[in-house]
Amino acid sequence: MLRCIGLMSGTSLDGVDAAWVETDGEVIGRTGPAITLPYDPALRRDLRRLLDVVAQAPSPGGPGIGPDDPLLADCIARLTARHIEAVRSVGWPAELIGFHGQTILHRPRRPGSNHAPFTWQVGDAAALARETGLSVAYDFRSADVAAGGQGAPLVPVVHSAFAAGLPKPLAVLNLGGVGNVTWIGPDGELVAFDTGPANGPLDDWARRTTGQPFDRDGKLAAAGRPDGGVLAQLITHPYLAAEPPKSLDRLDFSQALERAGLAELSAADGAATLVAFLAVCVAAASRHFPAPPRQWLVAGGGRRNPAIMRALASALTEPVRPVEVAGWNGDALEAQAFAVLAARVWRGLPITFPGTTGAPRPLTGGRIMGPLL
């Protein structure tokens, strides 16, 4: 067993989650401390600005921004420093770090697209290894994308390990900036993909219309009513009808939301419409499962929004519960997953599969830097 610290900074751009796990990459032994260190508002603002710059770049096969760009270099240095602080704050001894980095651009293979597949997570793994004295597993997605996979989602194999003793079929739904789901069959079969926008557009909307970083306790959405006309346009988006494997960039629906007229709604109605659309996306995802799940377990920040949980309960026929009912930590689950994935990288075990990313076969991935080499 390796003592690992997993780090995850998701597409919500809200901070760094860190979690300690003892694991061999297949069996989850002890779990230990888990913490969240928020990004300061200036870093969050600059990362979002970086996302916008990269998304608008003219190059169809890459980010269109150089490694010496001052904004990029500054963001990498500051977010890496926050990750170093997170590792130190965990406070338990470890040998290996799972370092996902911050996703800046995700353009996997898409039907009918003429751009080269590309995925980009930023962060300085060398600095992380040097400053902590630990080995670092990083660059988890590139090998899968190069082989024709979507590069996402990565955590289904870990969901399966956590769910070893639970009744199946089971759906595990993670609601970060983007939503993703893992369907786990009775024989361990995995089907996974991104469901659609989740907290990302809702956070952006709350910030734009109220000045708040997110819709705290779902109060803004609860005060409004979904706009049927905007919803009617959004549900025609081709992503919802596309067969998996499929995955999204955080900003993939930005133009669709603009064209649908979201900006013309009140703050409350816009939030309610985004919550309703999130639920529509999840319900549409369930059509791709081999069999209905016995229940949905919800992780990520979205499970803390009562308006989202009510919308999901209304849209789905199966029970919808936070992952805490299974004894899991919904705030730490993705960080724990990257601790387990780090151990899999170290052991040379597959981290992506045909049913999760569309990989041509079970694929190893990631790279190791530091003392364990």
Provide the mean pLDDT of the chain.
93
Task: Give the SS3 label for residue 307.
Answer: helix
The shares of helix, strand and coil residues in the chain, as percent rounded to the nearest 5, are 40, 20, 35
Among 62-66, 117-121, 157-161, 205-209, the minimum mean pLDDT is found in 62-66
Q: Is the pLDDT of residue 258 over 80?
A: yes
Q: What is the percent of the chain where pLDDT is above 70?
A: 95
Q: What is the mean pLDDT of residues 227-244?
A: 96
Q: Is the pLDDT of residue 59 over 70?
A: no
Give the pLDDT confidence score for residue 105 in this predicted structure.
86
Structure confidence at residue 60 as a pLDDT band (50, 70, 90):
very low
Contact assessment for residue 179 and residue 312, using Cβ atoms and an 8 Å cutoff: no
Give the pLDDT confidence score for residue 64 in this predicted structure.
63
- Report field, pTM of the whole predicted structure over 0.85: yes
Best CATH choice for the domain 164-326 from the list 3.90.226.10, 3.30.420.40, 3.40.50.300, 3.20.20.70: 3.30.420.40
Q: What are the residue boundaries of the structural domains of the chain, listed by start?
A: 2-154+330-369, 164-326
Angle formed by the axes of helices 41-55 and 70-90, to 10°?
130
Give the pLDDT confidence score for residue 113 in this predicted structure.
64
Task: Tell me how far apart the alpha carbons of residues 155 and 174 are, in angstroms, rounded to a whole number.
Answer: 10
The residues near 256 (Cβ < 8 Å, ≥ 6 apart) are: 233, 234, 237
Which strand ranges, in their side-by-side order, compose the sheet holding 190-197?
A: 190-197, 178-184, 170-175, 296-299, 320-322
Q: Is the pLDDT of residue 66 over 80?
A: no
Task: Tell me how far apart the alpha carbons of residues 44 and 179 are, in angstroms, rounded to a whole number.
Answer: 20
Q: Is 358 left (phi over 0), alpha (psi -120 to 50) or beta?
A: left
The pLDDT tens digits for 109-156 are 776 566 778 888 999 999 999 999 999 999 999 999 999 999 999 999
In the chain, which ranges are E strands? 2-9, 15-23, 28-38, 96-107, 118-122, 135-138, 170-175, 178-184, 190-197, 296-299, 320-322, 367-369
At the second CATH level, the architecture of 2-154+330-369 is: 2-Layer Sandwich (3.30)
Same fold, 2-154+330-369 and 164-326: yes
Give the pLDDT confidence score for residue 259 in this predicted structure.
94
